[in-house]
C-alpha cells in the first residue's frame, strides 16, 4: 500500500498517534510498530511489569446456532477445526486451527464458549477470508457476525492482574483461558485471561466508542506502557509462538508445526468424534506416524540474529540443506539471537548442531527446546 489513506484504522488509531506511535502498514491497517520508549524497552517492560497492545486489527466473530442450541454451533465448528469444541465448558477458551483438505493450516484462532454463542478471534490478514469460509461452510446452521464495532487490546505482563483489578476486582479469580464479561470504566467488555507473549495477561474486547477511554484509564497506571508490533513479535518469538504466514501456513500441518497438543484425544483416531475436519486423513496419519519435518527452536552463537529465510544445513559449507528459518531476531530477555524454523526429522532433536546461512556465511546454531523463556500463565 502506498499511503496511510488507503489503510484501515483501528478504533484506537488517534490514541496510538497521540502516544507517539510510529505507524506502519500491517495487514491492511495503520498500526504502531513502536512508541517513543522503543522496541527493547517495551519488550523488557512487558516482561517486568505490564504492556498494553492495540490488537484491534484482529477479527472478532460471534457464532450463534440458529436452533438456539449452542451444541449445534459447537458441532458446526468441529467440522472446520481438529479441536474439541463440544466439550469446551462455558466460560472457557481454546486455541484452534482452521485446516484445509491437504492438512495445511488456513489460520490459527481462539474459540470461546460464551454460553449462548461462541466468540472467535482470528488473525487480521485472514479475517475476511476466514469469515467468508465460515459463512460458506456453516452459515446454513449458524448466524455469524464479524464485528467492526469493537476494539481489542492485550494487557500483558506480571503486573497485568493487579492493574486490571483496579477496574474489576473479580479478575483475580480468573485462570488461564477463562473468559468473562465485565464492566470496565462503564464499558461492557469481554475479558479472556490469555495473550501471545508468554506472560500472564488478558485480552479485552471493548465497544469501539469507549475503547480510548478504557485504554487511557489503563495507561494511567504507572506500571503500564504502550507496546507496539515490534515488541509483540519479539515477545511471541521468545515464547516459541507461531506467527501465521511465517511459521504456519496452508502448506504446514499442525503436526509439522508441533501443535499436536491442540488436538484433543476425542478428535484423534479412536476418539468419540475422531476426524470429520478438513485434512483429517493427513493429520491423523501424522499424529500416529510422525511428519517428515518439524518446527524447532534455534539458538545462534554470538550476537548476529538469524532472520527468516535463512537456510539450515548440517555442514558449515551449506552442502546438506535440511531446513529453513521462518522467524528470527534478537531476544532481549535472553540477551541473544533466537529463531525458529523447519528441519528434516533427522535434524530435529534438541542439541543438534546446524549451520544457518547468514550474509554469505554459515553460522553455527543449535536446535533448542521452546519456549526460550518460561511462560508465566496462571493455570
* CA-based nearest residue to 362, from 352, 353, 350: 353
* pLDDT tops 90 at residue 215: yes
Estimate to the nearest angstrom the gap between the alpha carbon of 325 and the chain centroid: 19
What proportions of the chain, in percent to the nearest 5, are helix, strand and coil? 25, 35, 40
* pLDDT tops 50 at residue 3: no
Strand order in the sheet with 179-184: 179-184, 187-192, 201-207, 150-156, 50-54, 224-227
How far apart CA 146 and CA 168 sit, in angstroms, is 27
Instruction: Show which of 192, 214, 238 is a domain's final residue.
Output: 238
155 and 46 belong to one structural domain = yes
* Average pLDDT over every residue of 200-206: 98
Does residue 12 belong to any structural domain of this protein? yes
Does residue 249 belong to any structural domain of this protein? no
13 and 155 belong to one structural domain = yes
- Which domain CATH number covers 220? 3.30.1360.120
- Which domain CATH number covers 355? 2.40.30.110
How far apart CA 304 and CA 263 sit, in angstroms, is 36
203 and 323 belong to one structural domain = no
Contacts of 357 (CB under 8 A, 6+ apart): 310, 311, 312, 313, 318
161 and 224 belong to one structural domain = yes
C-alpha cell at 33: 510498530
Number of domains in the chain: 2
174 and 43 belong to one structural domain = yes
166 and 305 belong to one structural domain = no
Does residue 370 belong to any structural domain of this protein? yes
Instruction: Provide the whole-model pTM.
Output: 0.96
159 and 42 belong to one structural domain = yes
Does residue 256 belong to any structural domain of this protein? no
Does residue 98 belong to any structural domain of this protein? no
Instruction: Show which of 215, 238, 261 is a domain's final residue.
Output: 238
Identify the domain containing residue 301 by its residue range.
292-379
How far apart CA 43 and CA 63 sit, in angstroms, is 34
| pLDDT, tens only, 47-82 | 999 999 999 999 999 999 999 999 999 999 999 999
How far apart CA 70 and CA 143 sit, in angstroms, is 12
* pLDDT tops 90 at residue 302: no
How far apart CA 194 and CA 85 sit, in angstroms, is 18
* CA-based nearest residue to 184, from 165, 204, 168, 203: 168
Contacts of 38 (CB under 8 A, 6+ apart): none
299 and 234 belong to one structural domain = no
359 and 211 belong to one structural domain = no
* pLDDT tops 60 at residue 239: yes
296 and 365 belong to one structural domain = yes
Does residue 39 belong to any structural domain of this protein? yes
* pLDDT tops 50 at residue 4: no
231 and 299 belong to one structural domain = no
How far apart CA 139 and CA 151 sit, in angstroms, is 25
Q: Which is it for strands 50-54 and 224-227: parallel, antiparallel or unpaired?
A: parallel
| pLDDT, tens only, 271-294 | 999 999 999 999 999 999 999 999
74 touches 89 (CB < 8 A): no
Widest CA span of the chain, in angstroms?
A: 63
What is the predicted pLDDT for the residue at 301?
Answer: 87
Does residue 32 belong to any structural domain of this protein? yes
Amino acid at each position: 500500500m502506498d499511503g496511510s489513506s488507503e489503510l484501515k484504522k483501528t478504533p484506537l488509531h488517534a490514541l496510538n498517534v497521540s502516544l507517539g506511535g510510529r505507524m506502519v502498514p500491517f495487514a491492511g491497517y495503520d498500526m504502531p510498530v513502536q512508541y517513543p520508549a522503543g522496541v527493547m524497552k517495551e519488550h523488557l517492560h512487558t516482561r517486568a511489569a505490564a504492556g498494553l497492545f492495540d490488537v484491534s486489527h484482529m477479527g472478532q466473530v460471534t457464532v450463534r446456532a440458529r436452533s438456539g442450541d449452542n451444541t449445534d454451533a459447537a458441532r458446526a465448528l468441529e467440522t472446520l477445526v481438529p479441536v474439541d469444541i463440544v466439550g469446551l465448558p462455558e466460560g472457557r477458551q481454546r486455541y484452534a486451527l482452521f485446516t484445509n483438505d491437504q492438512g495445511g493450516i488456513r489460520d490459527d484462532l481462539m474459540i470461546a464458549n460464551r454460553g449462548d454463542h461462541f466468540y472467535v478471534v482470528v488473525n487480521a490478514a485472514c479475517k475476511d477470508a476466514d469469515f467468508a469460509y465460515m459463512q460458506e461452510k456453516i452459515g446454513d446452521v449458524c448466524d455469524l457476525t464479524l464485528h467492526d464495532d469493537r476494539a481489542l487490546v492485550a494487557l500483558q505482563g506480571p503486573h497485568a492482574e493487579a492493574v486490571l483489578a483496579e477496574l474489576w476486582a473479580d479478575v483475580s479469580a480468573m485462570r488461564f483461558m477463562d473468559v468473562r464479561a465485565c464492566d470496565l470504566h462503564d464499558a461492557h467488555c469481554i475479558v479472556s485471561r490469555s495473550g501471545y507473549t508468554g506472560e500472564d495477561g488478558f485480552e479485552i474486547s471493548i465497544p469501539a466508542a469507549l475503547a480510548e477511554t478504557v485504554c487511557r484509564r489503563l495507561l494511567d497506571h504507572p506500571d503500564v506502557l504502550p507496546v507496539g508490533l515490534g515488541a509483540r513479535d519479539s515477545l511471541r518469538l521468545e515464547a516459541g509462538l507461531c506467527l501465521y504466514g511465517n511459521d504456519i501456513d496452508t502448506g504446514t500441518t499442525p503436526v509439522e508445526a508441533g501443535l499436536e497438543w491442540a488436538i484433543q484425544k476425542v478428535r484423534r483416531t479412536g476418539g468419540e468424534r475422531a476426524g470429520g475436519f478438513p485434512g483429517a486423513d493427513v493429520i491423523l496419519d501424522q499424529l500416529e506416524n510422525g511428519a517428515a519435518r518439524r518446527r524447532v527452536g534455534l539458538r545462534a552463537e554470538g550476537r548476529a540474529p538469524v532472520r527468516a529465510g535463512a537456510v539450515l544445513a548440517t555442514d558449515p559449507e551449506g552442502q546438506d540443506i535440511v531446513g529453513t528459518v521462518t522467524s528470527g531476531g534478537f531476544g532481549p530477555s535472553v540477551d541473544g539471537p533466537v529463531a525458529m524454523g523447519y528441519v528434516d526429522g533427522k535434524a530435529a532433536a534438541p542439541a543438534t548442531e546446524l549451520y544457518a546461512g547468514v550474509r554469505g556465511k554459515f553460522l553455527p546454531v543449535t536446535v533448542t527446546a521452546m519456549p526460550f523463556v518460561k511462560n508465566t500463565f496462571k493455570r
